[in-house]
Structure 1
Amino acid sequence: MIPFALKYIIVLISTLIVSAIATPLVRFLSFKIGAVDNPNARRINKVPMPTAGGLAVFFAFTVSTLGLLPRIIQHLNGNGAYFHYVLPLVIAGGIIIVTGLVDDIKELKPLPKLMGILLAASIIWIWTDFKFDHFKIPFGGPLLAFPTWLSFFLTILWIVAITNAVNLIDGLDGLVSGVSIISLTTMGLVSYFFLHDSNIFLPLTIFILAVSITGFLPYNYHPAIIYLGDTGALFIGFMIGVLSLQGLKNSTAVAVVTPMVILGVPITDTVVAIIRRSLSGKKIYEADRMHLHHRLLSMGLTHRGTVLVIYAISFIFSLTSLLLNVSSRFGGVLLMVSLVLGVLILSEMIGIFGENRTPLLNTLKFIGNSSYRQEAIAKWKSRHSK
């Protein structure tokens, strides 16, 4: 009798192989159907690059979750067949894949793209238990239960927000793939060891998705021969948004914060972009070249060096999320305060908020530099004496 753990490892290895074999085929298909990313002012690539690489990730994920895993899982924890558990995820993911593929070929306008994401998110809310129906206020707060209409709104909002946040950071070879693998691996560990309200199906599915992306990463890492495209970035972001919902609705306070910390890179980059564009008088959805990876490149880092730095930042977020689950309440508060300060200082140092928007650094300089402090006080007195 083969132990379940060994069977699952075999499934993971098979998923990796399927993804690795499917990727070159998807690359060939991308050229045939016109899913090609041509160079322009905002693109890093200098030559036409096949996109739609997400098809390989989706194919490997689907083969494993609908074909391989159900064969080794009968019934666990009284939650019914795994096939019925994961089928709505695959159907909703398929809608995202179609939406992204059409966008990679024809460049959809924002509204049709959003409609595809909303349709897929609605399927998740209707046919699965991935719902934002209650929320534990962190660090000693009450457990809030939401009415049905609010649960639907918050669930859709979270999924759409994370989907677009992940899509926004897709600007360098291997960036989304690597950050997603780090985030998903951490999410799987947290869901297995710390989410008491979840079942074993959740980490099993998360690790399958992580391995599906891992098989694609060697082709996508710099210098890439294929991009994820919106096909892959939207699918990965969507799945991360859905799978992270279990942590948000967990009755353990720290578990509520965990998915937000794990997804620190895309969430922070998106929030900072909204703040930056609002302060500059631009529309929040207006594209620019001030994202984290753009700023790191402008500082002189190489393409690969920039990606590795962001991997490291993502790893710090993930490590913090793991530490939160084994820390006391006071320790958790200190971790969060330290993390927020670190993010703000880094953002100001690399100019991600925009030029001359460094209030925290100016405050630290005011405290630690007497010459600057005297100069600032003199300017303040001069301004208020008029």
Structure 2
Amino acid sequence: MIYVTMFISFITSILITPLVKRIAIKIGATDKPNHRKVHQKIMPRLGGLAIYISFIIGLLILQPNSDTHWPLILGSLIIILTGIFDDMFELSAKVKLAGQLAAAVVVVVWGDVLVSFINLPFGGVIEFGYLSIPLTILWIVGITNAINLIDGLDGLAAGVSSIALITIAFMALIMGNYYVVAIASILLASTLGFLFYNFHPAKIFMGDTGALFLGYIIAVLSLLGFKNVTVISLIVPVIILGVPISDTFFAIIRRVLNKKPLSAPDKSHLHHCLLRLGYSHRQTVILIYALAAFFGLTAVIFSQAKVWGSLLVITGLLVLIEVLAESIGLMGKNHRPLLKFIRRYSTAKDRS
């Protein structure tokens, strides 16, 4: 039944995206080019509405059952409305954040989606107590915005989200969490249908409607699949979402180093850096897809490894991320501490 539902959601997304495109143009939900953006002409956004409608139709057909289901539906409605209004009227950062917080609070308070404790790998437990609520809300809002931040090229956010959903569904299947499998699969099919129009050259953007919605659902699903487990397992969703999380992390570092506000926009995100290196629009997107797939595969390997193996994997991954970030200039052209250390060490070794 799930494969039939996925097919219906996929076809629905393909069929209604042109309709959503016409609606976006009619109501003025368009994205105008500026110095920060790659596209050179006015583009309709609001494409996330097609993903959402296809997703809801899939849910109505499959009717997955969980205590979290209706809180998740209500939260997604709040986040979709926030995105629609932002695509139409460009809401202030405070209003957008309020919508994200409201959606997060719904699933945390009503749906009881909480990371309340973790078991340490060598024994012992860390209880979060009252901190579990703000920590969980912070995760949901953080991932929601991380997906939104990478939505800078045609098909980028949709493709990276699809890869994350595939990994989450696969991990949930291994763990026997069939509700997460169902939700992730339906959302995957809906997103792939939209990607048919969104891959370069895009005919429509997903806008904040889509980026916030995908980020929100992915954030909640990752918690449903990995909450209240070992600290090692808790790292799995972080690895799965390695592309948006690392891009957001280095954006924060970059702005701190440059003494700019954390909300200040710039053109030094991962996709901007790759474009500056000479890769084409399509090549850049495919490279980031490959990176997202690498993170997904690493998450699967990490989850199946023993404790020491997991520590080795995470150490190697962190070093690789840092080298990549410094190589392409994610923190700026001059901030490359690890590469400079390696060069100094190599020079000193050659002299000796």
**Which TM-score band applies after superposition, normalised by the shorter structure?**
over 0.9
TM-score, normalised to structure 1's length? 0.88
1:134 is matched with 117
Distance in structure 2 (CA, Å) of the matches to 1:135 and 1:45: 44
Superposed displacement of residue 253, structure 1: 4.0
Give the conservation status (yes or no) of the 8 Å contact 1:165–1:267.
yes
Question: Structure 1 residues 226, 264: CA separation in 2 closer, same or farther (over 3 Å shift)?
Answer: same
Superposed displacement of residue 161, structure 1: 0.6
Residue 65 of structure 2 is aligned to residue 68 of structure 1: no
Distance in structure 2 (CA, Å) of the matches to 1:121 and 1:359: 37
Superposed displacement of residue 90, structure 1: 1.6
Q: Letter of the aligned partner of 2:125 in structure 1?
A: L
Give the conservation status (yes or no) of the 8 Å contact 2:76–2:213.
yes
2:304 aligns to what SS in structure 1?
Answer: coil
Give the conservation status (yes or no) of the 8 Å contact 1:184–1:206.
yes
1:102 is matched with 85
Superposed displacement of residue 248, structure 1: 4.3
Question: Structure 1 residues 141, 34: CA separation in 2 closer, same or farther (over 3 Å shift)?
Answer: farther
Distance in structure 2 (CA, Å) of the matches to 1:201 and 1:252: 21
1:161 is matched with 142
Give the conservation status (yes or no) of the 8 Å contact 2:29–2:46.
yes
Provide structure 2 residue ranges, at least 5 long, that are not aligned to the other structure.
Answer: none
2:118 aligns to what SS in structure 1?
Answer: strand
Distance in structure 1 (CA, Å) of the matches to 2:154 and 2:123: 41
1:135 aligns to what SS in structure 2?
Answer: strand
Distance in structure 1 (CA, Å) of the matches to 2:246 and 2:348: 33
Residue 128 of structure 2 is aligned to residue 146 of structure 1: yes
Higher mean C-alpha deviation, range 354-363 or range 247-256 = 247-256
Q: Letter of the aligned partner of 1:39 in structure 2?
A: P
Which among 298, 322, 335 is matched to residue 344 of structure 1?
A: 322
Q: Letter of the aligned partner of 1:347 in structure 2?
A: A
Q: Letter of the aligned partner of 2:25 in structure 1?
A: F
How many residue pairs end up in the alignment?
A: 352
2:330 aligns to what SS in structure 1?
Answer: coil
Superposed displacement of residue 176, structure 1: 0.3
Residue 278 of structure 2 is aligned to residue 278 of structure 1: no
2:156 is matched with 175
Give the conservation status (yes or no) of the 8 Å contact 1:131–1:151.
yes
Q: Give RMSD over aligned pairs.
A: 1.7
Percent identical residues: 42
Give the conservation status (yes or no) of the 8 Å contact 2:118–2:230.
no
TM-score, normalised to structure 2's length? 0.96
Q: Letter of the aligned partner of 1:146 in structure 2?
A: F
Q: CA offsets per residue over residues 72-117 of structure 1, 9 Å max, x none?
A: x6xxxxxxx45x6422212111111111111111111100000001
Question: Structure 1 residues 372, 29: CA separation in 2 closer, same or farther (over 3 Å shift)?
Answer: farther
1:76 is matched with none
Larger-Rg structure: 1
Distance in structure 2 (CA, Å) of the matches to 1:129 and 1:252: 19
1:172 aligns to what SS in structure 2?
Answer: coil
